[in-house]
Each structure stands twice: as C-alpha cells, then as structure tokens.
Amino acid sequence: MREESPGGLTAVDLGAGARGFFTTRTTPGMTEAEGGPYRGFNLALHVGDDSARVAAHRRRLAEVLGIAPGAAGSATGRARAGIAWMNQVHSTRIAAAQVGAAPTADALLLDTRNAVAPSGADTAPAAAAVLVADCLPVLLASGDGRVVAAVHAGRRGLLDGIIPAVLTAMDAQGVPLDGVRATIGPAICGACYEVPEDLRDAAAAVEPACAVVTRWGTPGIDLAAGATAQLERAGVGRIVAAHRCTYEHDDLYSYRRDGTTGRQAGVVLPAAP
C-alpha cells in the first residue's frame, strides 16, 4: 500500500505502527532553481553539495516526519528523536542506528525493545535512513513494528548478500522473519540498468532473478527482482513495492542519468515502544 503523506513524501504501510517514507528531489517544497546539479531536496553530504544546505534539508525532513528534537509532536517525549544516517560503501556491514554519528555500513538496525537513552541523547534515534540515486532502498519492520532496518542494496551489496545479512541479524535478535514486512523503494529498473554481458552473467550466477534484458535488447540487471527473490527465500511475510525507476523519473535523483547529482532517502520509523 502506498499513499501521499504530509510534505509530499511517499508513505508505505509497514504494519503494527511502523512507518516507511521515500523522498524525492522536489520534497518538501524546495525550489528547483536551488543547488545547481543538486537542485531540489538533496539529503547527501558526500556528493559535493553545500553541507549547510544539506543539513537544513535533513532538519526539514525530521520536522516533516514529526521527529525533530524539540519539535511539537516529536518523539523526544519517549527519548527518541532525529534520523540516523550511515556512510554507505556497498558492503554487507550492519550497524546500530544512532544520531550524531554515521557508521560505515550499508544497513542500519533500530530496535526500540532496548532501553533508550535519556531525552536528547545521540544514541536514541526515532528513525533510520538510507540514501540512493539508483541503488535500491529496502525498508524492513518486524511484525510488532519495534525492530526496523534501512538497507542500501546496490549491485555489489545485493549480490554480496546485504539483504540476507540484515535478515539474519534480525532473526538473531528474536524477530520472526515470517512476520517481517519489507518495502522496496525507487531505484533504477531492469529495463534501464544496462551492464556488460560478463557482469550480467556474473550477477545471474549469484542471483538468477536479477538477470534481464534492457529495453534496448542489451544485458541488464534488475535490482528489485533480485531483492524480492532474496526476501521471499528468507521467508519474509509481506513484500510491498513502492518502486519507481530513478532513471526514468525526473523528480528522482539518478546518477546513471545525470552523473553529478544528489540523493533521495528511504526512512523507516518503528512503532512506539
């Protein structure tokens, strides 16, 4: 299920009080004239955009979601506020979500079953986020909504097993995988993700579902299909697609299409403890 939420974000149903959201380059209410190649609502600090501008965008996103520290309706009353980010490197590393630090990882786990720090502490975020421009963002939530994950699944991470690694970590924490809900967000589609034949064949040897032919009749990789196959094999109970092709839609950032560009985000909020 997908719907428009306040601020123009795309909201997805993760069940049991957990919420998922995807931004675009035009949300919430930024003018396209700003930022040159990063114009719009860029949320990435590592792409060359002005850091103060990006920080303002991140604050604005937290405000729109009602989780900014000290904001009316924020999660500070239950000692959780702000969004946890990560330094993504196309790995299978998993880190605990925290505010005030960006661990080097390609998945963030946020578990509200654990005791939270006092209000305002950096280690108690209200949400976890993943940044993408063509790679696949995957949001996960346990059946009770209290354990969530934000996953960055590019070609390398997908084939190396970042999604099974996160699910294994959730299972190790006592999360029944048949109750997990997953949402696959905007990424480049298989019809547009052209790769050399040897790269497609190598991908097919690891994950057959991701090997496709592009709209031009050339070898391609379908990240969403590969992720769906991995989630299904792991026994994930429900998979919701909020997928749109970043290459085809100008309201989404696409590195393949534009080269120097910004990043949109997938954000997951757990159910209140």
Cβ atoms of 195 and 219 within 8 Å: the answer is yes
Smallest CA-to-CA distance from 96 within 59, 155, 147 is with 147
Q: Which residue has the higher pLDDT, 79 or 57?
A: 57
Is pLDDT of 182 > 90?
Answer: yes
pLDDT score, position 72: 45
pLDDT score, position 152: 98
Cβ atoms of 23 and 152 within 8 Å: the answer is no
Is pLDDT of 214 > 60?
Answer: yes
What proportion of the chain, given as a percentage, has pLDDT over 70? 87
Output the average pLDDT for the chain.
89
- Locus of tokens 């997928």: 243
Neighbouring C-beta atoms of residue 38, cutoff 10 Å: 23
pLDDT band at 76; cut points 50, 70, 90:
very low
Q: Which residue has the higher pLDDT, 26 or 119?
A: 26
Torsion region of 259: left, alpha or beta (phi above 0 gives left; psi -120 to 50 gives alpha): left
By residue count, the chain amounts to 273
Least confident of 28-42, 212-226, 255-269: 28-42
Cβ atoms of 133 and 247 within 8 Å: the answer is no
pLDDT score, position 28: 59
- CATH code at 2-185+251-269: 3.60.140.10
pLDDT score, position 4: 47
The tokens for 118 are 């006092």
Mean pLDDT of 156-176: 97
pLDDT band at 238; cut points 50, 70, 90:
very high
Smallest CA-to-CA distance from 23 within 112, 90, 83 is with 83
pLDDT score, position 26: 82
Query: Which letter does DSSP use for residue 115 in this model?
Result: P
Supply the pTM of this predicted model. Answer: 0.92
Mean pLDDT of 85-98: 96
